[in-house]
Amino acid sequence: MAKAKKAQKKTKAVKSAHKATGRKGTPKGAKAAPERATAQGNAPQGQEGKRLGILNAAVLVLKETGKAMNAKAMVEAALSKGMWTTKGKTPAATLYAAILREIQKKGSEARFKKVGQGMFTLNA
């Protein structure tokens, strides 16, 4: 008997919630969210006015230097040349993780190649 009463209370609560929200989880009379821009702020370089992402900036830094570099040196070079800006506390760790992720995902097609402990160069 007690289970039947609990089930009835639960059903009433669900029905009242459906009435208030219009059954789809949104309140009655609520408007649809406005369309958001889907383009990322870190778009590839090539179009004027677009920001350069850290991976693309690292590629440019490695092309300019022509030698293997670690993530910290690449970030410092990109920041000093104004190629990239950040407010993050650990941009070198972010770049290091992004490079490793690209190498893992793309394999021999990746733009980077790990040549030593923490050292990267461009993939030929």
| Calpha distance 43→50 (Å, rounded) | 6
Q: Report pLDDT for 42.
A: 47
- According to CATH, what is the number of the domain 54-122? 1.10.10
- Domains of the chain, residue spans: 54-122
Q: Report pLDDT for 43.
A: 44
Q: Report pLDDT for 17.
A: 53
- Look up residue 27 and give its DSSP letter: -
pLDDT digits (tens, 9 = 90+) for 55-86: 999 999 999 999 999 999 999 999 999 999 99
| Calpha distance 44→57 (Å, rounded) | 9
Q: Report pLDDT for 50.
A: 75
In the predicted model, residues of the chain with pLDDT beneath 70 are 1-49
Structure tokens at 8: 């009835």
DSSP 57-87: HHHHHHHHH-S-EEHHHHHHHHHHTTS----
pTM: 0.61
Q: Report pLDDT for 85.
A: 93
Report the half-sphere exposure of 26 (CA within 13 A, side-chain side): 6
